[in-house]
Structure 1
């Protein structure tokens, strides 16, 4: 689930009920400390409002031999010493200087210069990448129409009429999976405009003369839920876009960096990052209460939660469950900083901070690529595509011609994955299990510090729902309801977000992914092993032709690929994002021969880490845990002592 504000992806599984729409995948609530989209992030040079760089693909001169997505490793020697040119305190590494980048072993906070030849590719404040150009009715901004010239049916009609309400338990995955995915989504994507309050619907009614950004979801008069409460629209404000060229389609801006770089912990600008640091011992701000660290309280406060923490991305604290991943890496950073300070007392605060951040990001990247993503895409599928590798050497797949800008289409996949969210959240107190409604937990952080361990235990023990075409009734009717009887339909808001972004149609993406166009409903039916005639009939009545299917809807009903939870179209979209995030990042943890590369010994240590070990490090009351916390406890995945899990030997990093 993700936030339903005006704007990634989507991110955390719950969204504030504020004015703008959603979430699930395409949107997230924004942190109040993020820089405005109209100004360049601090710590980097001013950048053009738009970019002409290719989006979502690798482009290079015909003569180049630079690898893109290579599946081989090379034993390139890495650089262990920090090169000259490191920027001033707090800047976080190389920054563009006179149009170029200064050599440094540390990445910048906004991730500018992750591509030295194209410094702003993938940095915060740039437009999203695209696998396919936007598809608008007027070629610029107006939502697409059906082939016959009529409007698409309401997103609420699609949500309630096509996607069923159900939660089939998934015996292979814990609930932690979806909250970890949403943290990744927050890391990669934050559509600009999330902070804006755009009032399109008040008390469920469209306001007179709504603002131009309004793109509210129309509720049919016979809606089985909302009609009882006289609700005729759901609030949605269109995402902020970059100034475009005349006659060219809108480009939505991504306020997050496009890399797997823990921006939800460290921020996306120098100013924001500095506000989160102590500038003593390399640590991030935290206070100790009851023997453990918590983020400090945000003095500015907020309106969407009863307790507001000072964090880089407030989506991280929409629920007690979403707080888990942020707390994990916040505490891990400070643990690393404390240990590094003891191991090298000559290091300054800045060096300790940068080294702890560098190791923390590397551990996170390893877990994302080698522990989490194989569960979604399938290990063999990832190996064959060059998304992960076997062996112990360095990778050599970075390409300076690869535009790493986060793909807008990633949000479509993340929205579909919200089907694994359960409407009831279990929490464990001693040997008893209790459950709370998901909608009751949104913004309810007042008791976080006294109940956190209970919810954390639930995330590692409770089974997720299966990733399929069924969504929890909580997501479709009750999110962000406050004291009201009903709330938001996050699935409908996600669909509306996709139409706002102007995503191409399902068949267009099939062609882009080399899957072939499906000309008839019979051909579409054949993509499913157990097709449902009733579903096909419903889709035909709503869309008319297969060519008009929304990509979210069309891809959702495809059968999963072997080893994957996703069908071929969603797998393609996610693989493209995963490939761009590693082959376009010269600071990717296993890349050799770069200024920021680890030594062979350091890389071997990073490859020892597991998510369960980080949880043992960060949650001290946890003495025993299953080695694979993304899988439920079983005979094949028993509970073990935390002390038995391997960790990283930091002596090799000083």
Structure 2
């Protein structure tokens, strides 16, 4: 096990200083200091306060058009305080860069100034034009939860309790809060601690008291650390017994997991919510320097200042305003009592999820542009308030930032030649032209925020490029990145499986629910729903039916907490969705939408086959659907659009025709995750797909298809040509088809990965393919096919040419086919097409009345071929292998197949397959079985055998002498 250094050093073993505390900020553009060394950049540019008054003055609320919530800017600030901090100069020699107030200013007195102190810089820089001034990052650059734990040993140790691996907390009636400094002279320094006094909260980052919102997130993750520490202490059996060593190990493990959680939330929820799309992760790259860029820290990641509203809602659990009321933004700065005296962190965390943040633009609310810090103790750093927009512009000049066009060009974007290319808003264009005169003069931060936002995004082109560059390097250059950390893939986290399993489906809302009294909050807290369903009626105000009818395209519908777990009985027919729409329920307490056997539940069809609507349904139960007419398909859901179905259950639905649970038409595309589709059925003669009938595209992951029934084929799933289905990490179990394909019937292309197909039944006397019936193309990888049965052929897998004359193909790799039964031929596999088997174990299958309990290969020699490579076909009842035709069948492995010799009939001849390994056959003698230099599968016999692998990748299988089974 490896843990991060608290100061970020030694992450990169070739360049141990990468990401370390105190490393200078990087640049991807040359410095723009007026003298090339240290003087403020762009001295001829407009006065920053004049730019603020002309361009950034916001007179009304401008909500984000994509409904991003206040959690976006709040999380952005929380992450910013993990990765970057530049201190200001202090003392008598501190340089000033004051901003003078222009004539006509409506807030500040003309002729006065906003005080600005220049940033502390590396004293080894700023000597000449070849060594211009640079600034140190006082934090680790890594996304490592340093805002929780600190970036130096002294702070980190002060924050620890040294008891059970936990962090210090303050006991409070609303729940644990951050520790306070009290009168401890050794407490780590915190911003504004002189004004706040002994009630100053102490955290890993010195700015934790800056605002009640930020303090709430700090508190949340201290609670999360301590929650994890308790789980680790109780469940990790490899911890040291020594008390101090045990405390250290628990602390480090919990710290690693919290850092991974923050990474996962940032990259899976926060960045996508803004519209940032990164290149795919390809593993750790030691050549990447993750250091923070000046262009990112001084401008690019200061986009959050334009997203903040003037108030923060504070809510009770039922959604009503808390007794303390909403919080005016300017009243929340450096005031810990807004937490300790106003109900703790829960009212704030609830409120953030319900308010749409301001849109990204060149506008900032007065609380930040005119009143910043006025509500802080003693007036805060600036007694009469200050202007954050002007400060950002001046800080860019203090740090020698290049102009807007230079930064665009450095990131591979085209330079703009006219102000009209930046924005489509004529007022913004006119203001920029009035202020700067030339597009090459624009300050980076100003130009970046003035840009039009990109499609399906809340930021502009330059802002996206800056964020993509920084966050890709933070990920790719981190040896401890959560997707690269083997510890996380091994450590168990209680009922959540491994830590990696937990992180795969983690939302910030999960952390909130687990560490607060909050239960009713959207799964994705970075978006605010548009419409709230307030009752269980099937019509009228507040009903789901009315919400769907009144919703605009792209809206989100959520359910009031009071109806979580309740049932909406549909009495007015199916619910029709014909637009982009998102229905967001409750994963742990879903709303039941039940048609009572009177109609289908959902029809998702906008009537336009050329443009697909985007629909998502999350956290509901879809049941009681029933369609009875001729040609009626899809009892639960009929879909022609792009549908995402997650954290839901589809159960107890019936279709006269195809798709008892779900029917996906040829134009449809469905993504199904963490969902159960069970106890659905199709009723009439040729009705197929008891659980799902697919004619389009379906991706299924981490789901269960169980106990469905089809009167014809495909008890669990029917994949019609030209449909495509991909199934990963899922279970298809206990389904029944009257005819072929008890679990899955395949006409279209089907891919099954890391999944289990078990205990399915092909029921009638001529029914084939208990587990999977392949009449098209199927690829099965890393999967188990077990306990399935067919009354005719192919207990596990049945492969046969179809009515279209196509040659079916099944490719089975790294899988296990075990304990399947076909009454006639092919207990494990029946082949009348093309079958390729590699690195697969086929054992304990049965064909009691027929041939080939392991594999039966029949049919036209010009069509049928069976290729078995590096696999085990043994210990099957009756004959292991029966090849009626020989010419197209082959066993290829250089001696790595293990076949039950003397138990293979027909045209099979294994004598040429083995190299140095005897074919497997039952023996009660004690034997020594030794592998070759190849990849061997070695199976012991009934005796007490010694089984020894050699240089190959060997599979060693012992035999139970009592049951004579592997």
**What is the 5 A alignment of 1:399-418?**
399-411=285-297, 412-418=299-305
Deviation at 1:269, TM superposition (A): 0.8
1:626 aligned to 507, 519, 522, which one?
522
The structure that is strand-richer by fraction is 2
Q: 1:214 aligns with which of 87, 96, 113?
A: 96
Question: Which one has the bigger helix percentage?
Answer: 1
Number of the residue aligned with 1:367 = 265
1:465 aligned residue (358, 365, 379) = 358
How do residues 14-93 of structure 1 correspond to structure 2 at under 5 angstroms? 82=1
State which of 169, 189, 212 in structure 2 corresponds to 1:320: 212
Unaligned 5+ residue runs, structure 1? 1-81, 83-104, 199-209, 390-394, 648-654
- Listed one character per residue, the Cα deviations across residues 23-43 of structure 1 (whole Å, up to 9, x for unaligned) are xxxxxxxxxxxxxxxxxxxxx
Q: Are 1:491 and 2:385 counterparts?
A: no
Task: Name the SS for the 2:314 alignment partner.
Answer: strand
Equivalent residue number for residue 115 of structure 1: 12
Matches of 2:353 and 2:428 in 1, distance apart? 34
Deviations 1:466-500 (A, max 9, x none): 12222111111011114779411111111111111
Give the distance between the partners of 2:32 and 2:502, measured in 1 at CA.
46
The residue aligned with 1:546 is 439
Q: Deviations over 1:555-603 (max 9, x none)?
A: 22211222221111111111111011011111111026x7x66349542
| Aligned counterparts of 1:639 and 1:591: Cα–Cα separation in 2 | 33
Question: Contact 2:223/2:515 (CA < 8 Å) preserved in 1?
Answer: yes
Distance (whole Å) between structure 2 residues aligned to residue 491 and residue 329 of structure 1: 30
Please point out which of 584, 604, 624 is paired with 2:501. Answer: 604
- How far off is 1:133 after superposition? 2.7
Q: Is the 8 A contact 2:488 2:499 kept in 1?
A: no
Q: Figure out how many residues of one structure are paired with residues of the other and give that number.
A: 506
Cα 1:143–1:454, aligned 2, differ >3 Å: closer, same or farther?
same
Q: Provide the C-alpha distance between the structure 1 equivalents of 2:397 and 2:183, rounded to a whole number of angstroms.
A: 34
- Taking structure 2 as the reference length, the TM-score comes to 0.50
> Pick from 66, 74, 82: which aligns with 1:179?
74
Q: Deviations over 1:146-198 (max 9, x none)?
A: xxxx62221111111122314212351111211110011101100033xx556
CA radius of gyration, larger in: 2
- Counterpart CA distance in 2 for 1:338 and 1:288 is 17
Q: Distance in 2 between matches of 1:618 and 1:140?
A: 50
Query: Which of 285, 306, 312 matches 1:419?
Result: 306
- SS, match of residue 408 in structure 2: helix
**SS of the counterpart of 1:190?**
coil
Runs of 5+ in structure 2 lacking a partner?
Answer: 185-192, 241-245, 492-497, 530-555, 558-581, 591-618, 620-646, 648-673, 675-966
Q: What CA RMSD, in Å, does the superposition of the two structures yield over aligned residues?
A: 2.5
* Cα distance in 2, alignment partners of residues 117 and 377 from structure 1: 34
For residue 238 of structure 1, what is the aligned residue in structure 2?
118
2:135 corresponds, among 252, 266, 284, to: 252
Q: 2:330 aligns with which of 439, 444, 451?
A: 439
**Contact 2:177 2:219 (8 Å CA) reproduced:** yes
The answer (yes or no) to whether the contact 1:402–1:580 under 8 Å persists in 2 is yes
* 1:297 and 2:297 aligned: no
| Larger mean Cα displacement after TM superposition, 572-581 or 478-487 | 478-487
Deviation at 1:274, TM superposition (A): 0.7
Shift in Å, 1:299 = 2.5
How much does 1:641 deviate?
6.2
The match for 1:640 is 586
Q: Partners in 1 of 2:169 and 2:271 — Cα distance?
A: 30
Counterpart CA distance in 2 for 1:311 and 1:637 is 38
Aligned with 2:171: secondary structure?
Answer: strand
Offset, 1:609 = 1.3
C-alpha change, 1:314 and 1:212, in structure 2 (3 Å) is closer
Aligned to 1:526: 421
Structure 1 contact 242–253 (Cα < 8 Å) conserved: yes
Q: Aligned-pair distance for 1:451?
A: 2.3
Q: Counterpart of 1:624 in 2: which secondary structure?
A: coil
Question: Secondary structure of the residue that 2:315 maps to in structure 1?
Answer: strand
User: Structure 1 residues 638 and 181 mapped into 2: Cα distance closer, same or farther (>3 Å)?
Assistant: same
1:212–1:544 Cα change, 3 Å: farther
Aligned mate of 1:266, from 149, 160, 170: 149
- Of the candidates 472, 475, 487, which is equivalent to residue 582 of structure 1? 475
Task: Specify which of 193, 203, 224 is matched with residue 106 of structure 2.
Answer: 224
Q: 1:162 and 2:162 equivalent?
A: no
Could you state the TM-score of these two structures normalised by the residue count of structure 1? 0.73
Q: Report the 3-state secondary structure (helix = DSSP H, G, I; strand = E; otherwise coil) of the residue aligned with 1:177.
A: helix
Cα distance in structure 2, aligned partners of 1:642 and 1:295: 29
Displacement of 1:243 = 2.5
Distance in 1 (CA, whole Å) between partners of 2:38 and 2:520 is: 54
Aligned-partner SS, 1:242: coil
